[in-house]
Structure 1
Amino acid sequence: MFKEGIKYRKCDNGDFIKLHEINQERFINKTSLTTFKVGERLHRNTIFLAEDNNNAVGYVFGMGSQDNPEEGWIRQIAVLKKYEGRGIAKTLQKLCIEAFKSMRGVRYVGLSVEPGNKPALCLYKSLGFKIVEPEQVYETIAVNGKLAIKDYYGPGEHRFIMKKEL
């Protein structure tokens, strides 16, 4: 499961800065430093880092649902551009899924994904995630023949919801 040279570990004190730095490079809609700090404190068992020579090159940010104890949620995953294609994202996802499996009562893991992000869709499907219909409280829009949540992250930022049974 581990690629040579890349080491994987759970989030630790002070790692929120590393998560934030990767996030700043990879995403247009940035996650705040405060969000990562709170995550480090409350969700460290489901946040994992990938490192190359002690330099953070990727992370997965998982969290348990406060509304539904049966649901784990993968909030975000990111790998530095120059490290893409090495299986790092897949390994990080597997670690997070295994962490959720070990939690009492968690029966499935969910995530959201941009409908046009074909590499992410392929990755998630290879791990057993399936696109599901969003809860009825959300306004939906058809994208590629599937229902997505309309404007999930703002105007035009539609997302599929995917889930994996544990």
Structure 2
Amino acid sequence: MSNVYFRDIEEANECIVRKIKLKPGQENFIETVDECLKEADTSHEWHPVAIYDDEEIIGFAMYGSFGPNKDTWIDRIMIDEKYQGKGLGKIAMKKLIDIVSKEYGVSVIYLSIIEENRIAQSLYESMGFEFHI
């Protein structure tokens, strides 16, 4: 049984989060953690978090809300290659949707995805998201 939860990026976990690795071939699907954290530093609307399972850091996510319409995004989510294929990404995504919808008071959440990332697209569609170009 997994115990997936999130913590803000802070001095105690930042170094480990920056070492998250994706499986070969996934590198073109998402920005690196370093790039994400740099973007979050320049735009304070972004909220980067470490994804934990028990006390292990298993991934990274970044979400935020923008503009007068409160367009809310889960823009980045990645699970380290060692933890992929165990259902942890889906668990993390469900919990993140709940957190984000409550934090921003919204019922519509947007995602960004590279069209070639079929595995992520399938996961998101299984969770009720619709894919639009």
What interval of TM-score do these two structures reach, taking the shorter chain for normalisation? 0.7 to 0.9
Q: Which residue of 2 aligns with 1:55?
A: 56
How far does residue 30 in structure 1 lie from its aligned partner after superposition? 4.3
Q: Deviations over 1:46-65 (max 9, x none)?
A: 7351235x331112221222
Task: Report the TM-score, using the length of structure 1 for normalisation.
Answer: 0.60
- Consecutive unaligned residues of structure 2, counting only runs of 5 or more, are none
Counterpart-to-counterpart distance in 2, 1:92 and 1:48: 11
Question: Contact (CA 8 Å) 2:64, 2:72: kept in 1 or not?
Answer: yes
Structure 1 counterpart of 2:6, from 4, 9, 15: 9
Give the number of the structure whose alpha-carbon radius of gyration is greater. Answer: 1
Counterpart-to-counterpart distance in 1, 2:17 and 2:40: 10
Counterpart-to-counterpart distance in 2, 1:80 and 1:95: 17
Task: Report the TM-score, using the length of structure 2 for normalisation.
Answer: 0.72
How far does residue 117 in structure 1 lie from its aligned partner after superposition? 1.7
Secondary structure at the residue paired with 2:32? coil
Counterpart-to-counterpart distance in 2, 1:56 and 1:104: 25
Secondary structure at the residue paired with 2:75? strand
Whether 1:93 aligns to 2:93 is yes
CA RMSD of aligned residues (A): 2.9
Q: Deviations over 1:81-118 (max 9, x none)?
A: 22112111111111221122213443311112122222
How many residues in Structure 1 have an aligned counterpart in Structure 2? 125
More strand by share: 1
How far does residue 13 in structure 1 lie from its aligned partner after superposition? 2.0
